[in-house]
Amino acid sequence: MKIGIVGATGVVGREMIQVLEKRDFPLSELVCFASSKSAGVSLKFKGKNILVKELNEHSFNDIKILFLAAGRKVSEHYAPLAQKAGILVIDSSSFFRTDPAIPLVIPEINPHALASHKGIISSPNCTATIMLMALAPLHRKKRIKRIVAASYQAASGAGARAMEELKGETKAFLEGNPFERSVMPYPYAFNLFLHNSAVNDEGYSEEETKVIFETKKILEDETIALSITCVRVPVLRAHSIALNVEFHESFSVEEAQEILRKAPGLTLQEDRKEMRFATPLDASMQDTILCGRIRQDLYHPNTLDLWVVGDQLLKGAALNAVQIAEEATKLGITSKTSGSLVTG
């Protein structure tokens, strides 16, 4: 089975290559694509060098599964072409996520959604994925009525250059030197800012709108009320989320802990005595999502507070996409299992 990655030299693409290797994904050949700028770059996979090819419309020969990790515009253009060529597309961009005909999948949560695919499957927003890994098991037990969330998002969500810029700007700050930013619009060294995606007429950033929409789609519950504030913090690669969650019935802390202890892809880190709760550094480079600090809301019925942390590049992006491919393979899903084409 020949597998392709578009955006292979980007921060998510590079993680995908490592995830495919680490999980020993059953592939016969890995083909890496990037823009003309990065074509010719050599990437390591299982000890071999892979020469990155320039992506064009004739790139897809014999590929069975194509991961798209190069942003909305590339996905908009290439996903339908690959789909037409009979390739199963797993898209990490936001482009197809809002399309009701496109499954938006976190394999631990809604693998059944894969069945309705038409050749393109979307992998969700990183913040939504990390948050839902903890919330979905609780929602299954006692339905969620309302979520109030505040995020602490890492630089990695804005790409490799943002991570480098955070380090470079911080170094310059510590040395008292000037620094010229080229990625982030605001000072980032020892600073934080509201997520810099465009704000709509209601004052919500695109990131916040994505989390709200995707939560409802993945949990398949339009009735969930959700408010979120997305904030970019000077952390390299893991997102944290502070959650206040109201359920339709009462939920004891012990009951929630018990459910989360057993939930797949999740680790409960809840040590009040030693005061050890999950931090982004704990979650970095880890496949598992960390959660804990589960508290009963003291003043609002049926409501729990919790804290969730996860690696933005792994479960928040590359790992989830690869898991979708694994799940699809397990279910015997190929692009050919469904015939009708989709328009984005």
Please give the residue ranges that form the binding site for its own copies (CB under 8 A).
Answer: 146, 148, 150, 152, 166-167, 170-171, 174, 185-187, 190-194, 196, 198-199, 202-204, 212, 224-227, 229, 231, 233-236, 240, 242, 244, 253, 272, 275, 277, 279-281, 293-300, 303, 305, 307
CB 115 to its own copies: min, Å = 29
**Residue 195 catalytic?**
no
Query: Roughly what angle, to the nearest 10 degrees, separates helices 160-175 and 11-22?
Result: 110
Rounded to a whole number of angstroms, the minimum distance from the CB of residue 96 to its own copies is 23
Which residue, 25 or 193, is less far from its own copies as judged by CB? 193
Whose Cβ is closer to its own copies: residue 151's or residue 320's? 151
Minimum distance of its own copies from residue 99's CB (angstroms): 21
Q: CA–CA separation, 31 vs 2, rounded Å?
A: 7
Round to whole Å and give the CA distance between 315 and 289. Answer: 7
For residue 112, give both structure tokens. 């059944």
Minimum Å gap between C-beta 189 and its own copies is 9
Options 32, 139, 239, 291, the catalytic residue: 239
Q: Which two tokens stand for residue 308?
A: 């969730």
204/251 with CB nearer its own copies: 204
The residue annotated as part of the active site, out of 126, 139, 195, 291, is 126
Whichever of 117 and 210 has its CB closer to its own copies, that residue is 210
| Distance from C-alpha of 183 to C-alpha of 181, rounded to nearest angstrom | 6
- Give the position of tokens 């982030």: 184
The three-point CA angle 199-204-206 to 5° equals 65
Could you tell me the smallest distance in angstroms from the CB atom of residue 343 to its own copies?
28
Residue 139: active-site member: no
Indicate the residue among 162 and 328 with the shorter CB distance to its own copies.
162
Which residues touch 305 (CB under 8 Å, ≥6 apart)? 242, 243, 244, 245, 293, 294, 295, 296, 297
Active site residues: 126, 239
